[in-house]
A = this chain, B = another copy of it.
Amino acid sequence: MNAPRPHHLADMTSEEARRAAEADTVVLIPAGAFEQHGPALPLGTDLVRAEGVVERVAARLDGRAVIGPALPVGVSPHHLAFPGTLSLSVDTFRAVLREYLAGLSAQGWRRILVVTGHGGNNAALTTVAQDLLAEEPGLQFAWTPLTPVAADAVARMPRGEVHGHSGEAETAQMLHLAPGLVRTERFAPGTTALSELDGLGRLARRPGHPSLQLRYDRLSPDGVLGDPSRASAGDGAAIVDTIVDRVTGFVEEWLKA
């Protein structure tokens, strides 16, 4: 390593961290997952995407944000049937994040934003926000997923009837952010039509509520929803740029609020 990565707290000295806290910077925490992403994407895909966004947002904010420690393993019980998947329990994921937040707060930060590349973390993140409302209302905690923030950009991509995990939009982001990690030679369509699902699978994929979750081995033999071969780096750039724009905009508004 030839130089500290910009904005990363881990690469700062204690004194530099002190100045960053005193400058009332926002702390960005990237959260990922350690889970199957089909035949073509790596286990760490969600952290790669979260870190890609976080670094771009921090660069845009130029000194008004720092990047805190990552959450490299997320809440992934739905993928445990696939090799290589590791998952934290909800309780432990919550505990780790709460201790990160308590520590950052004790060191003087007042605004913390978790950027999660993994949707399975969303509910746990919301519950941590609820804990804080009761226990530490002075700390401002926000979180954001990635892909849903750019739903319009995603909607402009070619996609099949069923799409999602390791499919068109996620592959596109990886082709843009970390093309060297994508095994394009292994692209193969996963589940792309509702008719490939059984009754319970179709029920689980119904939009809206009631909500029923299933393990992904019931939804797709190779863990993929959609067809990654439809993805392009250009689509990925459009999605990532949209996310970065909107998250940056949110933080700028936050810093003024």
Contact = CB atoms under 8 A, between A and B. Distances in A.
Interface of A: 1-4, 8-18, 21, 34, 36-44, 47-48, 68-70, 72-73, 75, 77-78, 80, 82-92, 94-96, 99-100, 103-104, 106-108, 113, 120, 122-124, 126-127, 129-131, 133-134, 137, 140-145, 148-149, 177-181, 183, 186, 198-200, 202-203, 206, 208-215, 223, 247, 250, 253-254, 256-257
Nearest to A140: B212
A10 B72 contact: yes
A208 B72 contact: no
Given A88-B96, A213-B130, A250-B210, A13 B1 contact: no
Given A84-B107, A96-B92, A129-B211, A14 B38 contact: yes
B130 A10 contact: no
A18 B140 contact: no
A157 to B, nearest CB: 19
A92 B86 contact: no
Given A10-B44, A92-B92, A203-B254, A17 B84 contact: yes
Contacts of A199: 253, 256-257
A13 B34 contact: no
A181 B5 CA distance: 9
B95 A92 contact: yes
